[in-house]
Amino acid sequence: DIVMTQTPLPSPVTLGQPASISCRSSESLVHSGGDTYLNWLQQRPGQPPRLLIYKISNRFSGVPDRFSGSGAGTDFTLKISRVEPEDVGIYYCAQATQFPLTFGGGTKLEIK
Amino acid sequence: EVQLLESGGDLVQPGGSLRLSCVASGFTFSSYAMNWVRQAPGKGLEWVSSISSSGGDTYYADSVKGRFTISRDNSKNTLFLQLNSLRVEDTAVYYCVKDWSIWFGVTWGQGTLVTVSS
């Protein structure tokens, strides 16, 4: 099984400052077809998760451009250029390259 | 608007059974793979099971294999999860999730709570 490991944020993050969340996979997420199925999800308090970024770096519809994704192979990063109050929540990376599908343990974003 | 609406969650004793349903709307259900993902209270996300658009291919987490069964009725735009031999550790909110591969996680339902306790 592919293990996804996320690093904690130095909490809390100052409003308007950048934040960066790392995610590492135990093996390459490059699919046999050439794509890398690494997505980022945001879960606000009391809400179901929602898709932010798909295929490493593509923002989903309606996601503010302060969110960006990068990385390759086994190392990936979600960046928020300027943290806003509505960004509070838990962020998960998820791999869909192979079954079993797996998630990172989540990174909590708190704002001061 | 794409929507997923789960139902069927309940309080059940260890060893009991439940059937969860997820009714889809706003998209051509029969064209998409579907998934169940769960979240234990205060914990992270755990993938449970996936099913291809036709229902011909199914996948399960080791933790539920042999106890849970995923299925779908494309004529009724409905996804199911049959939960048997339930354990305390199966207690969680169960989410219905649209699609896999590139689009894994594109749409989530609000979830349905399964509580396994004596």
pLDDT at site A46: 96
Q: Which residues, 6 or more positions from B101, have their beta carbon under 8 angstroms from its beta carbon?
A: A31, A35, A37, A96, B33
Give yes or no for A34 touching B (CB within 8 A).
no
Nearest to B117 by CA among B33, B18, B21: B18
pLDDT at site A67: 98
Strand bridging mode A67-72 / A75-80: antiparallel
Tokens of A30: 């490059």
Q: Contacts of residue B47 in chain A, CB cutoff 8 Å?
A: 100-103
**Phi (first) and psi of residue A111, to 5 degrees:** -125, 140
| Interface contact flag, B45 A48, Cβ < 8 Å | no
pLDDT at site A11: 75
Q: What is the pLDDT of residues A36-83, one digit of tens each?
A: 999 999 999 999 999 999 999 999 999 999 999 999 999 999 999 999
pLDDT at site A9: 87
pLDDT at site B101: 87
Q: Contacts of residue A100 in chain B, CB cutoff 8 Å?
A: 47, 59, 61-62
Distance between A106 CA and the closest CA of chain B, angstroms: 6
Residue contacts between A and B (CB atoms, under 8 Å): 63
Candidates B35, B102, B105; nearest CB to A41: B105
Q: Which residues of B touch A (CB under 8 A)?
A: 35, 44-47, 50, 59, 61-62, 95, 100-111
Q: What residues of chain B score a pLDDT lower than 50?
A: none
The three-point CA angle A78-A97-B102 to 5° equals 65
Candidates B45, B59, B100; nearest CB to A49: B45
